[in-house]
A and B are shown apart, each in its own frame.
Chain A
Amino acid sequence: MTEILDIVVLVFILIGAFFSVVAAIGVVRLPDVYTRNHAASKSATLGVMFILMGTFIHFAAEDHTNTRLILAIVFIFLTSPVGGHLINRAAYYTGVKMWDRSVRDDLMERVGNLNVRSADGKNRKTDELKK
């Protein structure tokens, strides 16, 4: 019985580590803030959740059931998409441009050109930055 549980714990922690590594590679490899956020907000969430789940099962099998781990999983589950959304939104409204192979931007029609301070300290319209 304990051997089966050990294998389950092993699989959980390896999957979690794998997703975390992929998230890290994604943050390095992908071209702009928005696509990097895709990797960071999804893979990192699931990676941490799998690792915490593995830890929980490992200690539950030894009669040390720690419900704080379950709470941690729930909190990460609830907060990480909100974090990803806010980073994206802040990036958009400070005029961070999207990758040049982006094909569509409906939000720009909506909010128009924002006046933002670009890297050289001058105020620019966002569509100048995007080109």
Chain B
Amino acid sequence: MAFQILLNLFIAFVWMFLKVSYDPATFFIGYLLGLGMIFLMRRFFRSRFYLRNVWAVVYLTLLFLYELLKANISVVKIVLKPKLDFHPGIFAYETELKNDWEITLLSNLITLTPGTLVVDVFEENGKTILYIHAIHVPDVDEAVEGIKNTFEKAILEVSR
């Protein structure tokens, strides 16, 4: 992916040299042309067309913000409720993610989602297990499903 971006920048500079004009507008046109070329030549690269990764990152950021807002509304509900009727606990969650940065990102996302907070991370014969403190344990299954379907998928999409 980094190679494709570098190639795209290179094509933009070649375009500037061809036009003998060195302003941002020319660079931008050259960059767009390079993008088109890389899109047409995409079957010669080992990784996929890089705009899809860029889109995945944008999607992940939006997801992050949305979940943060949701988490805060649920915290407000818990704090301002007259009765403290929740049942906290720590549960184990096994993730399929492999790289360190992916696991860090996932832990950060989990910490900022409604009702969950990462306590510790263990690695055991190739599997990574996150220990998560949940504010209301009866909701755990739902939370696990949510993490699996949204965050893990989004992170895998970025790193693919």
Listed in ascending order, the chain A residues whose CB lies under 8 Å from chain B are 19, 22-23, 25-26, 29-32, 34-35, 37-39, 41-43, 45-46, 78, 81-82, 84-85, 88-89, 92, 98-99, 101-108, 110
Contacts and interface: CB of A to CB of B under 8 A. Distances in A.
A92 B119 CA distance: 8
Contact of B89 (A22, A41, A105): A105
A22 B131 contact: no
B88 interface: yes
A110 B122 contact: yes
Interface of B: 68-69, 71-72, 75-76, 78-80, 84, 86-92, 107-108, 111-112, 115, 117-120, 122, 129, 131, 133, 135, 137
Main secondary structure of the interface of A (DSSP, over half): helix
A26 B111 CA distance: 17
22 contacts: A22-B80, A26-B75, A34-B133, A38-B115, A42-B68, A43-B75, A46-B68, A81-B112, A85-B111, A88-B133, A99-B88, A101-B87, A102-B87, A103-B87, A103-B88, A103-B137, A104-B91, A104-B137, A106-B92, A107-B92, A110-B92, A110-B122
A106 B118 contact: no
A85 B78 CA distance: 20
A102 B84 CA distance: 12
Contact of A46 (B69, B79, B118): B69
Given A108-B90, A110-B92, 17 more contacts: A22-B76, A26-B75, A30-B84, A34-B88, A34-B119, A34-B133, A37-B117, A42-B68, A43-B76, A45-B112, A46-B69, A89-B120, A104-B91, A107-B119, A110-B122, A110-B129, A110-B131
B107 A38 contact: no
A44 to B, nearest CB: 10
Contacts, number: 108
A22 B75 contact: yes
A31 B112 contact: no
Contacts of A42: 68, 71-72, 75, 112
